[in-house]
Amino acid sequence: MELKNLPALTVLSDCVTIVEVDQVKIVRVMHEKASAGIALHGGHVVSFAPQGQKDLIWMSDKAIFDGKAALRGGIPVCWPWFGRIAAPAHGFARSTEWQLLEHRENQSGVIVELGLFASEETHQIWPYLFDARLVVEVGDQLNVTLKVSNIDDKPWTFSGALHTYLNVGDISQTEISGMGAEYIDSLLQGQVCQGEKILKLSDTIDRVYTQPEAQILVKDPLFERTFCVENQGHNSAVLWNPWAEGAKGMADMSDNGYQTMLCVESTLHAASIDQGKTLQPGETHQLSTTISSL
Ligand code: TA6
Looking at residue 256, its pLDDT comes to 98
Listed in order, strand segments (DSSP E) in 84-162 are 99-106, 109-117, 130-138, 142-150, 156-158, 160-162
Question: For residue 27, what are the β-bridge partners?
Answer: 18, 38
pLDDT digits over 207-220, tens only? 999 999 999 999 99
**Ligand 1 centre from 115 Cα, in Å?**
24
Strand partners, 268: 160
pLDDT of 262 reads 98
pLDDT tens for each residue of 150-206: 999 999 999 999 999 999 999 999 999 999 999 999 999 999 999 999 999 999 999
Mean pLDDT taken over the chain: 98
Nearest atom within ligand 1 for CA of residue 90: 14
Grade residue 102 by pLDDT with cuts at 50, 70 and 90. Answer: very high
Q: Which one is catalytic: 41, 44, 90, 163?
A: 163
Atom of ligand 1 nearest to the CA of 240: 2
Angstrom distance (rounded) from CA 2 to CA 131: 31
Distance from residue 143's CA to the centre of ligand 1 (Å): 22
So what's the pLDDT on residue 278?
A: 98
Q: What is the pLDDT of residue 61?
A: 98
Q: Is 204 in the pocket of ligand 1 (CB under 6 A)?
A: no
* Distance (Å) from CA 53 to ligand 1 centroid: 28
Whether the CB-CB separation of 175 and 145 falls below 8 Å is answered with no
pLDDT average, residue stretch 3-11 = 97
Other beta carbons less than 10 A from residue 2's beta carbon: 11
The structural domains of the chain, ordered by start, are 3-293 (2.70.98.10)
Helix (H), strand (E) at residue 246: helix 243-248
Task: Indicate if ligand 1 lies below 6 Å from the C-beta of 205.
Answer: no
Q: Which pLDDT score, from 0 to 100, does residue 285 have?
A: 98
What atom of ligand 1 comes closest to residue 84's alpha carbon? 4
Mean pLDDT over 280-288 rounds to 98
User: Phi and psi for 188 in degrees, rounded to 5?
Assistant: -120, 50
pLDDT value at residue 137: 98
Predicted confidence at residue 144, as pLDDT, reads: 98
Ligand 1 proximity of 42 Cβ (cutoff 6 Å): no
CA distance 253 to 136: 26
Average pLDDT over every residue of 83-100? 98
Give the span between the Cα atoms of 123 and 274, in whole angstroms.
18
Known catalytic residue at 265? yes
Answer whether 144's CB lies under 8 Å from 75's CB.
yes
240-265 mean pLDDT = 98
Distance from the CA of 155 to the center of ligand 1, in angstroms? 27
* Cα–Cα nearest to 42, from 22, 24, 17: 24
Cβ 33 under 6 angstroms from ligand 1: no
pLDDT-above-90 percentage for the chain: 100
| Residue 163: active-site member | yes
Phi and psi, residue 15, nearest 5°: -110, -15
Ligand 1, atom 15, residue with closest C-alpha:
72
pLDDT at residue 197, rounded to an integer: 94
- N- to C-terminal Cα distance for the chain? 20
User: What is the 3-class SS of 61-79, one letter each residue?
Assistant: CCCCCCCCCCCCECECEEC
